Amino acid sequence: MVTNRRSVADPSTLTGWYKSSYSGGNQGECLEVARGHAAVPVRDSKAADGPAVVFSADGWSSFVTALKGGRLSA
């Protein structure tokens, strides 16, 4: 597996964060994704000032496709 390390100095300064409509509301088990950036930052919705995992656009697309297809295990 090839990975590229990217970082966001302060993810809380990014705009366009959103939660999936499938996230279940306010149960506190949600991820947020920021739109409109060269990379795709993902963070824990409970920790808006915390770190973000940053995917390349292709990496994020592959990750979501794998989730939808049930190809990831815990």
Taking the C-alpha atoms of residue 30 and residue 1, their distance in angstroms, rounded to an integer, is 26
pLDDT at position 5 is 57
pLDDT value for 2: 47
CA proximity to 39, closest of 18, 60, 21: 60
What are the tens digits of pLDDT across the range 26-71? 666 788 998 877 788 998 888 888 888 889 989 999 988 998 899 9
Rounded to two decimals, what is the model's pTM?
0.71
Task: Report domain extents, the chain.
Answer: 11-20+28-67
